[in-house]
Chain A
Amino acid sequence: MRAKVGANEALALARPAANGHDTPERSADPASPARRAGLWHWLRSHRRQATLIAFVVPALTYVILFFAYPLIYGFTMSVEKIGFIAQSGPYIGLHNYKVEINDPVTREALTNTAIFLVTSLFFQFTIGLGIASYFSRRFFLSGFLRSLIIIPWLFPPIASGTIFAIMFAGQGGIIDETLQSLHLISSPIFWFDSSFKAMFVIIFVNIWIGIPFNAVLLYSGLQDIPTEMWEASALDGASAWQRFRYITVPLLRPVSLIVIMLGIIYTVKTFDLVIVLTNGGPDNGSQLMSTWAYTLAFQNFQTSQGAAVANMLFLFCMIVAFFYIRATRREVVLA
């Protein structure tokens, strides 16, 4: 270890150009005058690093105890045959995964999650982008109204879900009454008696919750595009559509990617909304992977199968995480 760091130090001394591109504040490191005294500097900087790593240790401990350990435990649960309270059981390999993949409810939960994900994201993003571009023009009250639009995102999701559960109620619910008074429907619609309608309501509410997040981030992405670019292209005779297509779309791409990937993660984690709106029903018709894992483990007392479904969801999230890190790696590496 010591020799290795020493060698690196020598390398750095031999090639001052290698450090040349560093920002001034980094080379303003107070240790740099001591650079000539190699060993002393190394000891000193090493001790500093050890101290600094000590600052990170509590966070590291928390991550190990509350992320790494539960995830490993969750994996061992999924390959064992265990009951509700027992901590472990006999090893049965990937049996639980096979059972779950062949379970029609799991398949339905998988399809529901996919539909939920794609439709939610599509409408959240397009409506969010529309709102962001509308408010990117300055006008009277624009700042104030823009700050109000974020409210649905700050609400506890269970609160939003409850509001809509009451609004969509088949009898006395404001949505049915409004539709009836507008003579769009003649008798109340019972929104929660078919899996299609139940899924429609869940997606509708989730879009409402997700619009502000998309709008705020896309708005800040639009603000980062210099206005001169639009003005110059307008002078050159580009139409509004051409300006959108050839300036806004490419320059908004990095932000959009991040917004969409974060949207995927938030959406796939959704749990509260389903519980309060439909509780997975009717007849498991609106189960998502998250609620199905919950139902298996906490209501059917099939802990191992629940863990298997939860781990499938986890795997999907990690695939998205991989692409997210790749898309933002420039910021991460230049940390």
Chain B
Amino acid sequence: MNGRRRLSLFWKRRARRIVLPIGGLVITGLMLLPIYFTIESSLAPSSSFQALSQSLVPSHFVFSNYRLAFGQERGSIVTSLLIALGAVVLSVGIALPAAYGLTKLGYLKNRAIVSVAIIVLLVTQMVPGISLTLAFYKLFFHLHLLNSIPGLILADSTNGMPFAALVLRAYMGSIPAELSDAAYVDGASEWRTFRSVIAPIAVPGIVTAGLFVFLFAWGDFLYAYTLTAGGNVTPLTKGILTFFTNNTVNWGGVLATVVLAAIPSGLILSFGQRYVMGGLRAGALKG
């Protein structure tokens, strides 16, 4: 009895070792099927597009779709990069000192100020962009910020700044208070403590916050669509839409543009994954 049970346990373990990874592969494969389809179609000759669904791997790879996409959307890629980098600088530049101030105020027992500030930051993340962009349009119209990269940097930071502040504050909360206290006892000013002690230690948190702000601004469509109407500043997200709606034949080219738009996400997933996971947890769960 005992022996048979042990034997069945052995087979159960062995089956688990094989079945679990296969199931995992199937789940992941199903989730990523649309992305596989996109990459495959972008590399296939566009004329054979309709036959693609019958073959899982294209007979030969071509880069004509990418040449077309890059030729068409080169300007948009540069615009989007400038906007996303600008949003990172603005958002982190504002959020980093704020996170420092809030963390230290927390140590000084000013809990009320800190709680109110955190609640405000959480609430701002929940404001739908459409409720802001109507006012932005009118405002930017009179400030001549419509169809401009600075205007989009300012608007896109509404997604990034509160998130960056929350992630950075959560990160700084994990830095032992003794560190800045020691600097304080040694006579360093708050600014100097911030600049020379805390900010260097907070680099991983800054990277996390920066990555998210970049992704938010890079992927923004709402502000790109509403605040550039009729102008020549076209971020990549808006470029994809115009390319897609104006071009109903060459889907290969459109899908190549989609792949180009997804490159930052891919890079971040390959090199900055732990930052993404950390940020996702800190931003959502640790408030």
Is A155 interfacial (CB 8 A cutoff)?
yes
Annotate A31-44 by CB proximity to B: 1 below 8 A, 0 otherwise.
Answer: 00000000000000
Q: Are A272 and B237 in contact (CB under 8 A)?
A: yes
Interface centre among B37, B94, B101 (most CB of A within 10 A): B101
Contacts of B47-92 to chain A: CB distance below 8 A: 49-50, 52-54
The distance from the CB of B32 to the nearest CB of chain A, in whole angstroms, is: 6
CB distance from A49 to the nearest CB of B (A): 6
A105 at the interface (CB under 8 A from B): no
**A30-B181, A62-B94 known; A151 vs B35 contact (CB < 8 Å):** yes
B201 within 8 A of A: no
List B154-196 residues whose CB lies under 8 Å from chain A. Answer: 154-155, 157-158, 161-162, 165, 169, 173, 176-178, 181, 184-185, 189-191, 194
Q: Does A157 contact B (CB under 8 A)?
A: yes
Q: Are A159 and B126 in contact (CB under 8 A)?
A: no
B128 A290 Cβ-Cβ under 8 A: yes
Q: Is A142 interfacial (CB 8 A cutoff)? A: yes
B interface, over-half SS:
helix
Q: Give the residue of A59, A148, A165, A208 whose beta carbon is less than 8 angstroms from that of B98.
A: A59
Majority SS at the chain A contact face: helix
For A52-71 the 0/1 string (1 means CB < 8 A from B) is: 11111011101100110111
Cβ of A83 to closest chain B Cβ, rounded Å? 11
A312 to B46, CA, bound (A): 45
Tell whether A314 pairs with B131 under 8 Å between CB atoms, given A163-B38, A262-B284: yes
- Is B255 interfacial (CB-CB < 8 Å)? yes
Pair B108/A48 contact, Cβ less than 8 Å: yes
Report the minimal beta-carbon distance from B42 to chain A, rounded to whole angstroms.
Answer: 10
Across the interface, do A177 and B98 meet the contact criterion of CB distance under 8 Å? no
B110-144: CB near A (< 8 Å → 1, else 0) gives 11011101111111111111111011111101100
User: Known interface pairs A134-B24, A147-B269, A208-B34. Does A29 touch B135 (Cβ–Cβ under 8 Å)?
Assistant: no
> Would you give the 0/1 interface string for A209-220, flagging 1 where the beta carbon is closer than 8 Å to chain B?
001110011001
Q: How far is the CA of A182 from the CA of B23 in the complex (A)?
A: 23
Give the size range of A's interface with the partner: 35 or more
Closest residue on chain A to residue B101 by CB atoms: A55
Contact of B108 among A45, A150, A333 (CB under 8 A): A45
- Segment of A95-103, A241-249, A315-323 in the binding face: A315-323
Chain A contact residues, CB within 8 Å of chain B: 22, 25-26, 28-30, 45, 48-49, 51-56, 58-60, 62-63, 66-67, 69-71, 73-74, 77, 85, 87, 131, 134-135, 137, 139-142, 145, 147-152, 154-160, 162-167, 172, 174, 177-178, 181, 208, 211-213, 216-217, 220, 255, 258-259, 262, 265, 268-269, 271-272, 275-276, 290, 293-294, 297-298, 303, 306-307, 310-311, 313-314, 317-318, 320-321, 324-325, 328, 331-333, 335
Residue contacts A-B, CB under 8 angstroms, 7 given = A53-B113, A62-B161, A150-B269, A156-B265, A269-B128, A271-B222, A324-B122
